[in-house]
Amino acid sequence: MNPTRTRFCLRLAVSLAGVYAIHLPALATEAGVDNIGTGTDGFFMLPLEVDSLPDNMVAFNIYYNHYKATKFHISSLGGKVPNVEIESTAVIPRLDYLSPLRIFGGRLAGYIAQPWLKQEVSVFGLQDTREGMGDTTIAPIILWDMGKNLTLGAAVEITVPTGEYSTDRLANTSNNFYTYKPLFSFTWLPTERTEVSMKTTYSFNEKNKDTDYKSGQIFHFDYSASYKITDDLMLGLNGYYLKQTTDDKQFGRTVQFNGEDVNDGVRGQVFAIGPALHWTFLKYASAEIRWAKEFDVENRPEGEMLWAKVSIPYAF
């Protein structure tokens, strides 16, 4: 079994709010970051045959993530930002729980994730490194058993700004705002040897009170398609897509550059795709590694993403 998993609040880039100290304008969503954690989910986003699982189950998950970007094009700074290097490393424990309770015809579950982050930033001739606890993500989720080959899930994720943040820093381990994310996901086995999974979210961001910056709303999905090579090994493609749907605002109006409203609202966009490998061991435990390269990027850092995960379920 691969229990339900969704994203944690990973800083995919860096909070560049510290740049305000040298009188540069505000940056995108804010600084091109969000509370989504794009690419977190790949193979078997939901468990199959949920109704046949034990009444109480937990899954202990450990994620590793590494992201590196050397390109950053953002309209609130007038376009391409030169000499950028952004590197983020994270280790994220996550605990999933599947209960016997039923609601709206499905089984009630929940999860909590707490990342530990290291951010390394070089931009505008300045450098900064920060390491520490990131923002916490919690969620209740309902899982619907649609037969042995299909499971549906719906959740509301809440990201709480529990990490450290300062406007005087280039690198932060918190985005310093709450995010609420309705979520819908599925895992489907079209044939005995193939798997398709997808998770879609829509983010509503609160204001960063320290900068009076409110990041726009975001539509996003992670996807996975894989083929079973052996009984225990699967090879596939994975990736993500993100599209910001509303403008960023600061001080109650659209973000500005050189005293004028930015015409694209600093709306971010990215598509990523890459190979992935999944291995099942000890009958139900699993490990996976996934890589993706970003394309068609707007108002965000552009780079490469690596994810690894180990998941161990336990029934009681």
Average pLDDT, rounded, for the chain = 89
H or E segment at 239? strand 233-244
Pairing of strands 253-254, 249-250: antiparallel
Residue type present at position 13: A
Could you give the residue ranges of the DSSP H alpha helices within 95-245?
Answer: none
pLDDT over threshold 50, residue 150: yes
pLDDT of residue 48: 96
Confidence of residue 220 (pLDDT cuts 50, 70, 90): very high
Average pLDDT over residues 134-144: 98
Distance CA 153, CA 51 (A): 13
Confidence of residue 188 (pLDDT cuts 50, 70, 90): very high
Confidence of residue 230 (pLDDT cuts 50, 70, 90): very high
Distance CA 200, CA 207 (A): 23
Sign of the C-alpha dihedral, residues 252, 258, 261, 262? negative
H or E segment at 270? strand 269-281
pLDDT over threshold 60, residue 251: yes
Residues whose CB is less than 8 angstroms from the CB of residue 212 and which lie 6 or more positions away in sequence, other chains included: 250, 251, 252
Is 47 in contact with 57 (CB distance < 8 Å)?
Answer: no
pLDDT tens digits, residue range 30-54?
A: 766 789 999 999 999 999 999 999 9
Average pLDDT over residues 264-276: 96
Phi, psi of 301, deg, nearest 5: -65, 150
Confidence of residue 159 (pLDDT cuts 50, 70, 90): very high
pLDDT of residue 16: 29
CA-based nearest residue to 267, from 27, 69, 23, 40: 27
CA 182, 76, 210: angle at the middle one, nearest 5? 65
CA-based nearest residue to 299, from 68, 29, 23: 29
Residues whose CB is less than 8 angstroms from the CB of residue 67 and which lie 6 or more positions away in sequence, other chains included: 12, 13, 86, 87, 88, 89, 303, 304, 305, 306
Is 193 in contact with 235 (CB distance < 8 Å)?
Answer: no
pTM score of the predicted model:
0.88
